[in-house]
A and B are shown apart, each in its own frame.
Chain A
Amino acid sequence: MDSPNEHPPTDPLTKNNLQPFFVLHKASKSSESTARSPRKPSKRRLDSSPKVSLNNENMKENLKMEAFRCVWSKIDSSIKDVLRSINADVFDEIGRWVRESFNAICSCRGPVDTSKSSLPYPFVHNGGIVRNLFTGLVFTKNIETVDDILTFAELGLNLKSRGCYVANISSLDFSTKNGIGGCLRAFLRQLLMVDIEAADVSLLVSWYSDHGKYEKPVVVIIEDMERCSGALLSDFVNMLSEWSVKIPIILIAGVATSTDALRNLLTSHALQYLSTSTFFLKSPSERLDAIIEAVLVKNCAGFSVGHKVASFLRNYFLRQDGTVTSFVRALKMAIVQQLSVEPLSFVLKFLVDEGDNKRSCCEDLADMSEELIKHAFELPSYRTYSVNRNNHVELNAMSLCQGLSELQRLQELWRSRLMCLHEAGRYHKVALLDLYLEALDPESYNSRLSNHDRDSAKDKSLLSNNDKLFRLQKAEVTNQVIRKIRDLPAAKLSQLLKSWERLTEGTIEVHEKIIELQSQMVSEDVKSHKAELTDISKRHINRCRLNKEKDACTSNDKAMTLAGQTIRDNMLPIECMPFHELICFKDVDNLQSALIGDPRRRIQIDLLNFYKILKCGCCSNSGGTLSPSMHDTSIMYLLAQEYGDLINLHDWFQSFKVSISSSGKKGLKKLASPKKRKDNTYSQNNSDALIQARFCRAVMELQITGVICVMARCGGVTDELLNQNYVKEATRCHRMVKII
């Protein structure tokens, strides 16, 4: 078992348990500068770049920039479209509900009396006070709210376009610091367009009645309800409900978790006033599926990722972040890295441009230097390809262009098959993400091929063939989906075939087979229908039914084999295609380090290898050993490394003192700086104070960078003493610093 204590000592900070120094900060994700794994691709760039001339280099950079802009803008816009369309249904629903609620309020209020409505007493209806507040709970289905900031902004715009007054309030406005006044001010500022010092709801009433606005409801959108302070939110609801009839206020709240959150947050009083309806946004995995379909599966930008990258992205999504936002960011990083690493990757731009611009691709490639073209033919994917095929094409731009178009053709096939699978998987709620991942896996493809070869030699009974096909493979989800085609009812099967027909329009054989299958199904249907009509006797019907079931079975089986076959034949993962390196990003390590970022590790490495940065003459040759000329913080950190995880502050100080002063004398002799000697002549006391000050500063620096954290809770008496000691020294140090 891999117990945490068996970790190598070089990575002390990932250890668990009660350690005195803990890592406290969250890595900033945008930092792309992390030195972790050996960078093969960057090496390659270094190899290739000196060969090309400067002019060429410039042009290449331009091309790359242009390609990035082109590709990313396309991807970005398609992602936005997807997200917009995925929310459209819910928005419609919400819009309808807002209208209904508004009508309900109006019917309760009766005819409008503008002069009375601005007066501050509640509306008495039928002898009682109406304090219902129509509330829509929009469940975002994700505890991370990053993805939904945009959603709610768009919901606001959508409702505005439907003729509502909309105010978006975020949880930041519901902070206890500003009180209810702050939240009201933020709310009123959006509607009244003035900043009011003493805001109260009655202003809203006078604004509402002043403008003769009785045709429109006022919608308040609270984006992330869970983050709001419960007391304030309750007050807010109370306040709004007091005016709920005089101004038709409708509340929309985004809820990340469940309705329990509302129960826990609000007071029972406030809950009483809410008459709620619930709406559900699409779950993040559904959204991700839609994005993958639009960006990576459908030919949106020509860009694609390798299997390992895809599996990393999937794991990152499922296990750690779970937001679409981070997925999109990862995608962007992948494109940037691909473009920066791969010299010929600007062909992406040509792949994006459709139709007429294809020719210009060849022309542009012809303009390229020969090294670049050669580089393309030296790619490992092409090498294996050409070795396998034994073909010797002339290595020029034309053949590269052809190769690229072939690549595109193959990808097109792959895409359509994947979409076929997706269609089939839809009936069993299989995520496209999983299918996509398996479809990218080159290993499973290879095993599939070898299986097929083996099988083709043997007897080809349908069932055994299938069994072998499925048993020996790694692609679990894909096979499940194919297997489940057998269980589909006829109606769904014909529906599926119809969608397949649409998807496989490019390839004739498969298309024909599908049409054949469809016609077969139709004829079966007619047959059985006729049989049912003509034969009335019970036995007959029974038999017919049996027959029919058998027939259905066969057509289902046929569909299944067809799917299996077409996948085996046509679903070539991108990593098995020649020239795929140009458009396919495969470097997981780089992406991971860019996405997750590990600034602490960076700091640690820099602290240990400080001489690489400082580039001073005195310590670079000393390597890792301590020397007094080193930077204080580095000395401290090195000492900390010697001590392990738990450092007694006193010991630390002592060893710091020793390492400074003992070798300090040595250093003094070496450096012979007059100033230091002068210092030395001063009293011992003074130098002690100086060392203490330096020590404290270094500790502070280490603390600020987050490499260490002073733990108070260790439980021992010595530790307490230690802490007191630390505090004392720190204060003294401050005083010293100030005096100096």
Chain B
Amino acid sequence: MNEEQNPQTPRRTTRASLSSTPNPKSCKAKLKLCNKQPLTINDLAYGDESISLDDLISSLPGRRSQISELLRLLGPLDSPMFPVFVYGGASTGKTSTILQIFKHLKRPFVYCSCITCYSPRILFESMLNQLLLHRRNESNRYSSTKRCERPSDFVNFLKEALCNVVDSLKGNMVKSSSKKSSGWARGKMVYLVFDNLELAREWDKSSNILPFLFNLNDILKMPEVGLVFLSNASPDTYYSDTGYVEPVPVYFPDYTEDELRQILMKKQENLKLYSSFLEVVLRPFCRVTRRVDELSTAFSTLYQIYCEPLDDLGIVPSEDMKRKLFTHLQPHIGPSLNETFKVENRLSSEASAKTNKWKGIAKKNGVCESPSEIDFHMSACAKYLLICAFLASRNPATLDASLFDSTGGSNNRKRKRKSSEKSKEKKENAEQELLLKGPGTFPLERLLAIFQCIVSVSECLPDEEAQGDGGLEGESWTNGLLSDVLLELSSLCNANFISKCGSCPLEGANRYRSMVSEAMALKVARSLKFPLAKYLYRG
């Protein structure tokens, strides 16, 4: 047991022997037992499974040239390398390529993603933990081996850790030469992989972390260390004024249509059916996006629709059937092209029975149904307030007086004057400007003023609700209203319908902005029977 506790002696061949056991069940059981075992140096590499170069290339369609380029840069076993900077758009296979290459090479590497490691400290500590084969668990109260916040500390610790690792790797080599050990890490090089490096640009205002990382090769001066950076952004977007050797760039271009087809086809069971499906959808979608993740999520729902008329998913579609399926699918393609985010409706069993019909109709039309009513509860006061905020954001403040005059804006004869061509043009321009500017901000006082006007107007209107409820209603409506309005305002702010803008330092009062769309505001107005369109200023 003593030996086991020493992480530096890679004597145990658990990984290798376990991976070679044919029975996965017993393997699992054993793994559970050895769960608490200390990590060995071999855990730094993909030990248990290996893939050949052919498998590597075929598993990543369209990445042949990048793979060979990377393999060339990494070089043969134990050869020092320049830092590599891999970049390309999102979802172009950068991370999986690198991981698969290391799987193929079986060389030890340390991987850190700047998504998970969201601050320099966590990045440093995560890297050190991996190198020092430290496992954070309950027994050490989930603490890291070293507390490390500054780059200078990190360099010291890193050097130390790397030396250890390289030494043990060398020892490893001696042993592996004598024994056959398929699961062991190969070579004495250690690679440090930094993924999602573009996120590190936003850490800290003192932008010294990136130059530091890029400079790491020079600082360490260890030929046994290879650095690989992965990023969405091209190297031009990183500061490069601090005299480090620029890493060798490797560009991952977007996939072509053919490559996308290959990638998407890989996971499918019924290839024929799926390829006929791709023939229909891939081209239009490729014009919008070439990201594999976006495409696969979009296609997964579309494929379900495509397969809906089929009873047996295993069939090979004939031309006739393809045509039929296409006509079935066609109305859905357009809407889903515009959709970035799809919400799957999961209805409870009783409700689904009811809505099935309705769903069918919606599907026939191929249009996303937008309910004409708001489907969540808002108190009447909040609704009025929402409308007021919308008006205050849309209308210029100078118009308030004429809109909400003593007649409550109920006669709008004044505003219906005929306008000349020139003024029309002017108005168009103004409208465009309004659109570009987005909703305007307004102070609280203006909102309250409009609110008061609107409420008083709507109370006078011969509303059937007001009639039915009698005198008591009006009383409760105005009583203690103001204090409640502010509460409602805060809940509207919480629901992101109204956003608080930064307060003006001179004025000291907060300004607000309405965030609702016109459609939403109209919906709310309709539920109150409030003539919103009458109050809207249209350029």
Instruction: For A14, list chain B residues within 8 Å (CB).
Output: 478, 481-482
| Bound complex: CA A121 to CA B68 (Å) | 22
Which residue from B61, B480, B506 sits with its C-beta under 8 Å from A598?
B480
| Bound complex: CA A600 to CA B480 (Å) | 10
B532 touches A (CB below 8 Å): no
| Bound complex: CA A196 to CA B147 (Å) | 13
**B118 and A279 contacting across the interface, CB-CB below 8 Å:** no
**A111 and B380 contacting across the interface, CB-CB below 8 Å:** no
**B456 and A2 contacting across the interface, CB-CB below 8 Å:** yes
**B453 and A4 contacting across the interface, CB-CB below 8 Å:** yes
Which residue from A128, A196, A212, A238 sits with its C-beta under 8 Å from B35?
A212
Q: Which of A151-159, A316-324, A527-535 contacts B (4 or more CB under 8 A)?
A: A316-324
Which residue from A13, A112, A196, A265 sits with its C-beta under 8 Å from B482?
A13
B117 touches A (CB below 8 Å): yes
For chain A, residues 116 to 169, give those with C-beta under 8 angstroms from any C-beta of chain B.
116, 118-122, 124, 126-129, 131, 137, 139-145
| Bound complex: CA A283 to CA B459 (Å) | 27
**B116 and A206 contacting across the interface, CB-CB below 8 Å:** no
Which residue from A93, A97, A200, A596 sits with its C-beta under 8 Å from B483?
A596
Whole-angstrom distance between the Cβ of A460 and the nearest chain B Cβ: 29
**A4 and B452 contacting across the interface, CB-CB below 8 Å:** yes
Instruction: For B112, list chain A residues within 8 Å (CB).
Output: 120
**B472 and A139 contacting across the interface, CB-CB below 8 Å:** no
Which residue from A127, A198, A201, A317 sits with its C-beta under 8 Å from B121?
A198
A115 and B15 in contact (CB under 8 A), knowing A24-B486, A128-B263?
Answer: yes
Instruction: For B90, list chain A residues within 8 Å (CB).
Output: 269
| Bound complex: CA A25 to CA B508 (Å) | 16
B502-529 vs A, CB cutoff 8 Å, 1 = contact: the mask equals 0000111100000101001000000000
Which residue from B24, B93, B118, B477 sits with its C-beta under 8 Å from A319?
B477
Which residue from B115, B444, B453, B496 sits with its C-beta under 8 Å from A239?
B115
Q: Which of A307-315, A328-336, A510-518 contacts B (4 or more CB under 8 A)?
A: A307-315
> Which B residue's beta carbon lies closest to that of A319?
B380
| Bound complex: CA A113 to CA B19 (Å) | 10
Q: Which of B130-138, B164-172, B356-364, B428-436 contacts A (4 or more CB under 8 A)?
A: B130-138
A437-476 vs B, CB cutoff 8 Å, 1 = contact: the mask equals 0000000000000000000000000000000000000001
**B118 and A114 contacting across the interface, CB-CB below 8 Å:** no
| Bound complex: CA A262 to CA B342 (Å) | 11
**B142 and A194 contacting across the interface, CB-CB below 8 Å:** yes
| Bound complex: CA A126 to CA B265 (Å) | 11
**A141 and B377 contacting across the interface, CB-CB below 8 Å:** yes
A22 touches B (CB below 8 Å): yes
> Which B residue's beta carbon lies closest to that of A16?
B452
Instruction: For B60, list chain A residues within 8 Å (CB).
Output: 127
Output the residue of B143, B344, B379, B460 with the most chain A CB within 10 A: B379
A129 and B381 in contact (CB under 8 A), knowing A265-B496, A320-B488, A596-B484?
Answer: no
B174 touches A (CB below 8 Å): no
**B456 and A4 contacting across the interface, CB-CB below 8 Å:** yes
| Bound complex: CA A3 to CA B443 (Å) | 22
Instruction: For A227, list chain B residues within 8 Å (CB).
Output: 494
A275 and B344 in contact (CB under 8 A), knowing A113-B31, A124-B99, A315-B469?
Answer: yes
Whole-angstrom distance between the Cβ of B21 and the nearest chain A Cβ: 12
| Bound complex: CA A464 to CA B508 (Å) | 68
| Bound complex: CA A200 to CA B342 (Å) | 29
A546 touches B (CB below 8 Å): no
A488 touches B (CB below 8 Å): no
A58 touches B (CB below 8 Å): no
Q: Which of B218-226, B241-249, B290-298, B327-335 contacts A (4 or more CB under 8 A)?
A: B290-298
A121 and B111 in contact (CB under 8 A), knowing A16-B453, A127-B96, A194-B142?
Answer: yes
B353 touches A (CB below 8 Å): no
Whole-angstrom distance between the Cβ of A291 and the nearest chain B Cβ: 15
| Bound complex: CA A277 to CA B61 (Å) | 32
Which residue from B95, B460, B469, B515 sits with its C-beta under 8 Å from A311?
B469
A3 and B496 in contact (CB under 8 A), knowing A239-B118, A320-B379?
Answer: no
Instruction: For A256, list chain B residues within 8 Å (CB).
Output: 376, 495
**B35 and A276 contacting across the interface, CB-CB below 8 Å:** no
For chain A, residues 716 to 731, give those with C-beta under 8 angstroms from any C-beta of chain B.
none
B278-291 vs A, CB cutoff 8 Å, 1 = contact: the mask equals 00000000000000
| Bound complex: CA A129 to CA B341 (Å) | 19
> Which B residue's beta carbon lies closest to that of A241?
B115
B414-434 vs A, CB cutoff 8 Å, 1 = contact: the mask equals 000000000000000000000
A143 and B35 in contact (CB under 8 A), knowing A25-B483, A315-B477?
Answer: no
B65 touches A (CB below 8 Å): no
A22 and B126 in contact (CB under 8 A), knowing A119-B43, A142-B376?
Answer: no
B341-370 vs A, CB cutoff 8 Å, 1 = contact: the mask equals 111111010000000000000000000000
| Bound complex: CA A312 to CA B477 (Å) | 10
> Which B residue's beta carbon lies closest to that of A17?
B449
B152 touches A (CB below 8 Å): no
Instruction: For B445, list chain A residues within 8 Å (CB).
Output: 17-19, 22, 711, 713
**A322 and B378 contacting across the interface, CB-CB below 8 Å:** yes
A45 touches B (CB below 8 Å): no
Instruction: For A90, list chain B residues within 8 Å (CB).
Output: 348
Instruction: Please tell me the number of chain B residues within 8 Å of chain A, measured between CB atoms.
Output: 111
| Bound complex: CA A274 to CA B294 (Å) | 11
A2 and B460 in contact (CB under 8 A), knowing A23-B483, A27-B483, A320-B484?
Answer: yes
Which residue from A122, A263, A275 sits with its C-beta under 8 Å from B95?
A122
| Bound complex: CA A119 to CA B93 (Å) | 20
**A712 and B484 contacting across the interface, CB-CB below 8 Å:** no
**B293 and A131 contacting across the interface, CB-CB below 8 Å:** yes
Whole-angstrom distance between the Cβ of B127 and the nearest chain A Cβ: 9
Whole-angstrom distance between the Cβ of B437 and the nearest chain A Cβ: 18
Instruction: For A260, list chain B residues within 8 Å (CB).
Output: 517, 520
A118 and B379 in contact (CB under 8 A), knowing A22-B445, A272-B297, A278-B343?
Answer: no
A544 touches B (CB below 8 Å): no
Instruction: For A27, list chain B residues within 8 Å (CB).
Output: 480, 483-484
B206 touches A (CB below 8 Å): no
**B118 and A235 contacting across the interface, CB-CB below 8 Å:** yes
B387 touches A (CB below 8 Å): no
A18-40 vs B, CB cutoff 8 Å, 1 = contact: the mask equals 11001111110000000000000
**B32 and A210 contacting across the interface, CB-CB below 8 Å:** no
Whole-angstrom distance between the Cβ of A248 and the nearest chain B Cβ: 17
| Bound complex: CA A269 to CA B89 (Å) | 12
Whole-angstrom distance between the Cβ of A241 and the nearest chain B Cβ: 9
For chain B, residues 396 to 427, give those with C-beta under 8 angstroms from any C-beta of chain A.
406-408
Which residue from B144, B449, B506 sits with its C-beta under 8 Å from A712?
B506
**B43 and A206 contacting across the interface, CB-CB below 8 Å:** no
A196 and B142 in contact (CB under 8 A), knowing A2-B459, A224-B494?
Answer: yes
A262 and B341 in contact (CB under 8 A), knowing A272-B293, A712-B506, A713-B507?
Answer: yes
Whole-angstrom distance between the Cβ of B343 and the nearest chain A Cβ: 5
A225-243 vs B, CB cutoff 8 Å, 1 = contact: the mask equals 0110000000100110011
20 extra interface residue pairs, beta carbon distance < 8 Å, beyond A121-B95, A127-B60: A1-B406, A2-B456, A4-B453, A89-B348, A93-B348, A113-B31, A126-B267, A127-B96, A127-B263, A143-B378, A143-B492, A210-B138, A238-B115, A264-B515, A265-B496, A276-B343, A278-B346, A319-B379, A322-B378, A597-B483
Closest 9 CB pairs of A and B: A16-B452, A322-B379, A277-B346, A596-B480, A127-B59, A121-B111, A319-B380, A27-B483, A712-B507
16 A-B interface contacts by CB (under 8 A): A1-B406, A2-B460, A3-B406, A14-B478, A18-B445, A18-B446, A23-B482, A115-B31, A120-B116, A127-B93, A139-B375, A257-B496, A264-B496, A272-B297, A321-B379, A713-B507
A residues with CB within 8 A of B: 1-4, 13-19, 22-27, 89-90, 93, 97, 111-116, 118-122, 124, 126-129, 131, 137, 139-145, 179-181, 192, 194, 196, 198, 200-203, 206-207, 209-210, 212, 224, 226-227, 235, 238-239, 242-243, 256-265, 268-269, 271-279, 283-285, 308, 311-312, 315-322, 476, 588, 592, 596-598, 600, 711-713
